[in-house]
Structure 1
Amino acid sequence: MAYPVEVLDRILGVMTGMAAGDALGAGYEFNAPLPDSAQVDMIGGGLGNFAPGEWTDDTSMAIVVAQGLLGSNGKLDGAASDYMVREWARWAVNAPDVGNQTRAVLAFAQSTASADGRTEPNTADALAGSEQIHRRTGRSGGNGSLMRTAPVALAYLSGTPAAAFDAAAAISKLTHFDDEAAEACGLWTVAIQHAVLTGELDIRIGLELLKPDRAHVWEQRIGQAETQRPRDFGNNGWVVEAFQAAWSAITTADAVDGKARLVPVVEAAVRGGVDTDTVAAIAGSLIGAATGLESVPEQWVEMVHGWPRMRMQELVDISNDLAG
């Protein structure tokens, strides 16, 4: 599809904004919140001893989502979800930083496949693991599916918000059984879709796709995020507070000419502390969707990289292909 130049730039801002936030937050993961005046840099380190500018599991898992969707002509089908499960399982074997919920589900899926005489897990294995772990622990609402949802918005850019929401929710369920994770992914994906097409930041645009009682719950949560700072959501390993912390960073960071910009937003997300790479990746995907590739500093474009041996240019290419 032929998009205007400004929309094309915003298309390229989604995954690059996500990766930039991810890499910026990598070196501060699980640290305490920082003062508003604290400088934040691409220092590397963190849980995976990442190189400066190296993204973490957030972007790596999102790349697999993107590649799976590209292999199925931009739509979520059985082949695409099988690809995601299979490639996540391969990646997780040697990945330095994998979320506990995700690792548990992928290990279950691989074990199930092996017990059945298969070498690779599939969608059914992952869904079974996601549900079983939730039933056993009552906890599957981590932020690990929200962090990787950005490519879905690009793949469904020309589709309806409902289609984008449903695809994001279904991909979330592969590892995170909790309905709140699915709702968060759907809302964030629709907001990215809207931001790319219009340049507007409207996290409420997808509320009409929820049942009224759930829309009311999320409206309250969004309102809370707009009146507090990212550091106020210290339980941001939970998908709800990760969502709130990311939206808080977008709405409370220093603006330029009345408009939020990428660098202040992802810096604010990192200063919020705790799961810094994930919150900054989530925030970066949405603010990047509204402000475009031009808002990513050239220095970051040159230095940001990560698994699987990719740099920003490859994310640009993937984004163009997804939205094509």
Structure 2
Amino acid sequence: MTEHTTILDRAVGAVLGSAAGDALGAGYEFGPPVPEPTPILMQGGGSFGWRPGEWTDDTSMAVPILQAVARGDDPAAEATLDGLVGAWGQWALDAPDVGIQTREVLSGLEAHTAAASRLAARRVHESTGRSAGNGSLMRTVPLVLAYLRGDDGEEERLASAARAVSDLTHHEADAGDACVLWCVAIRHAVLHGELDVLRGLDLLAPAARRTWTERLVAAEHAEPVAFTATNGWVVSALQAAYAAVRSSTSLEDALVRAVRSGNDTDTVAAIAGGLAGALYGAPALPEEWRAVLHGWPGLRADDLVAMSEQAVGGR
């Protein structure tokens, strides 16, 4: 699967794969499943009139994380988290596609700080009884690039950072658990070229391990479309993404499988693209997709590559 790729190829591939999946799925969001042999195209359109290759909120929220990691900031430090909240708050002022839960959190801030954001996320959770949408999982990929050393404890530090960033907008434990599992799986794929989504189970609370094992095993024996109806929920989104990657033969195939599932296509494909890109590497991304890939704040694929390389090279 990854015989001819390097760790750097796979690290960059995780970021590019996520952005490409986001842009590919943008034109199909909220639509029904798309069966074979109908082609899946990087066509833009959709509910917000995206241009071909334009990424959505999934990648827009990931960009400030990537920028912080490229600068060498500690992703789990409170000052870094403050910066993320500030960047997201500014982005959300004009963005057309902020998720319902995320918008509610960001619009209810008393200040653009991590502490205020966590408090707002808790209030949203308490008022609705749930807060495990897929909006924190969709943006989590760049965190992995800060934790690629082979040192003991790197997985644990990555897990803590993933949960800290998730908690800024998503209070429910399932959201943080999903980010931990996905980040650890992506890190393992980047370093070793192997798919192992069960690897992060020991980093979850003991009571959650059995539940997540059952969820992941269910995804191993299903197609992404099995989770279409509820893929706005972080659990179903992760299951759909895992199903797409596990049965894929290439990066393009993984993203197409994710988009075919329908409904929240951009997010499922962005999530799938992070792991698939880590497995297959940046050179596996179709050149015609890379050439048109772009989005907020005026960035293109080459900018994502440069920041990813800086993030990896500075570690």
Q: Same fold (TM over 0.5)?
A: yes
The CA deviation string for residues 39-97 of structure 1, in whole angstroms up to 9 with x for no partner, is 10011012221101100000110011122334453442111101100010100011111
**2:33–2:261 contact (8 Å) kept in structure 1:** yes
* Counterpart position of 1:132: 123
Q: Where does the alignment leave 5 or more consecutive residues of structure 2 unmatched? A: none
**1:53–1:304 contact (8 Å) kept in structure 2:** yes
Deviation at 1:38, TM superposition (A): 1.9
**2:5–2:281 contact (8 Å) kept in structure 1:** no
Output the CA distance in 2 between the equivalents of 1:15 and 1:263.
14
* Counterpart position of 1:118: none
* Counterpart position of 1:94: 94
TM-score of the superposition, structure 2-length normalised?
Answer: 0.94
Question: Where do residues 146-225 of structure 1 align in structure 2 (5 Å cutoff)?
Answer: 146-158=137-149, 160-225=154-219
**1:75–1:156 contact (8 Å) kept in structure 2:** no
The CA deviation string for residues 108-156 of structure 1, in whole angstroms up to 9 with x for no partner, is 11xx13xxxxxxx111110110001101111210000000000011111
Kindly provide the amino acid, as one letter, of the partner of residue 222 in structure 2: Q
Identity %: 48
**2:220–2:246 contact (8 Å) kept in structure 1:** yes
Output the CA distance in 1 between the equivalents of 2:55 and 2:217.
30
Query: Aligned to 2:247, which of 235, 252, 257?
Result: 252
Question: Where do residues 1-324 of structure 1 align in structure 2 (5 Å cutoff)?
Answer: 6-71=6-71, 73-109=73-109, 112-113=110-111, 121-158=112-149, 160-234=154-228, 235-253=230-248, 255=249, 261-324=250-313
Output the CA distance in 1 between the equivalents of 2:241 and 2:28.
16
- Look up the SS of the partner of 1:105 in the other structure: helix
Kindly provide the amino acid, as one letter, of the partner of residue 31 in structure 2: N
Output the CA distance in 1 between the equivalents of 2:93 and 2:238.
28
Aligned length in residues: 306
Kindly provide the amino acid, as one letter, of the partner of residue 144 in structure 1: G
Output the CA distance in 2 between the equivalents of 1:212 and 1:176.
21
Structure 1 pair 97/33, CA: closer, same or farther in 2 (3 Å)? same
Q: CA RMSD in A?
A: 1.3
Q: Where does the alignment leave 5 or more consecutive residues of structure 1 unmatched? A: 114-120, 256-260
Output the CA distance in 1 between the equivalents of 2:264 and 2:205.
30
- Look up the SS of the partner of 1:233 in the other structure: helix
**2:74–2:80 contact (8 Å) kept in structure 1:** no
Kindly provide the amino acid, as one letter, of the partner of residue 244 in structure 2: A
Kindly provide the amino acid, as one letter, of the partner of residue 45 in structure 2: G
Output the CA distance in 1 between the equivalents of 2:200 and 2:142.
17
